[in-house]
Amino acid sequence: MESLNAQIENGSTLLIRCLNWIKNDFLGIIREMRWSYLPPLLDDIEYDFASGWEDICFNSGPLLGPQMFRDMILPYMKPVMQLLRQHGVDIIFTDTDGNIEALLPLYLEVGLNCAFPFEVKPGNDVVRFRREYGRDLLIIGGFDKLALFESRNAVLAEFRKLEPVMADGGLIPHIDHRCPDGVSFEMYQYYIREKCHFLGMRKEEIEQIPGLG
């Protein structure tokens, strides 16, 4: 990635040719598919949300700087976001790992308003970002999966940390990506039970869930 960024900065002829091919040919095909297939589907079906995937960040930040992201990515995202919004899709999220803080203002600017999995270890902080962005930013994730390796008290503490944001709305707490190897089934059951509890489900409702009763 460092080599690729250096070539972009230095204006590599080969790289520019590759990018032009992506822009003019490959993305032309994608654009044609988008405008051919999306509008009829959006006209006929009412969608609750739209989702995408890009994994454009890693532990210390995005693979592309914010300005490069604005110049090279946003122009292709914006028409899709506008189309979705015009058809009443008001929750649009992307799946990207790592620290997404530098890209959040750009996501929100273009209309992408929800993030998953919101990994904690790289520095994404649900409580802090809620203070900064309010309900403009919706979150799926943000629960530190490492708590499941520690203890029930650690799991409970993680939920209590997120509780004010859950109460405010716009957060679905979820382990920040997938449940890692080595977590016991009993601990995962406890995590699910407590999540249901913090989301306001009654004890009788929780006990009706297969595997939790």
> Which of the residue ranges 13-27, 60-74, 117-131, 197-211 would you say has the lowest mean pLDDT?
13-27
Q: What is the pLDDT of residues 178-209, one digit of tens each?
A: 888 899 999 999 999 999 999 999 999 999 99
Which tokens go with 71? 């110049």
Q: Contact at 8 Å (CB) between 81 and 112?
A: yes
Query: What is the pLDDT averaged over residues 1-12?
Result: 60
- Percent of the chain whose predicted confidence (pLDDT) is above 90: 57
Kindly give the pairing relationship between strand 114-116 and strand 92-95: parallel
Helix/strand/coil for 73: coil
Quick check: 11 pLDDT over 60?
no
Q: What share of the chain is helix, strand, coil (3-state, %, to 5)?
A: 55, 10, 30
Answer yes or no: is pLDDT of 41 > 80. yes
Please, what CATH class does the domain formed by 46-207 belong to? alpha beta
pLDDT for the residue 105: 95
- pLDDT of res. 208: 92
Strands 92-95 and 50-53: parallel
pLDDT of the residue at 29: 67
Q: How far apart are alpha carbons 9 and 28 in whole angstroms?
A: 25
Domain ranges of the chain: 46-207
pLDDT on residue 34: 66
What are the pLDDT digits (tens) for 121-140? 999 999 999 999 999 999 99
Flag whether the pTM goes above 0.75.
Answer: yes
Model confidence band, residue 60 (pLDDT cutoffs 50, 70, 90): confident
Cα–Cα distance for residue pair 115/172, rounded to 1 Å? 11
Strand pairing report for 57-58 and 61-62: antiparallel
Higher pLDDT, 103 or 1: 103
The answer to which of 25-39, 65-79, 154-168 has the lowest mean pLDDT is: 25-39
Spatial distance between the Cα atoms of 127 and 136, rounded to a whole number of angstroms: 14
What's the alpha-carbon Rg for the chain, to the nearest Å?
A: 20
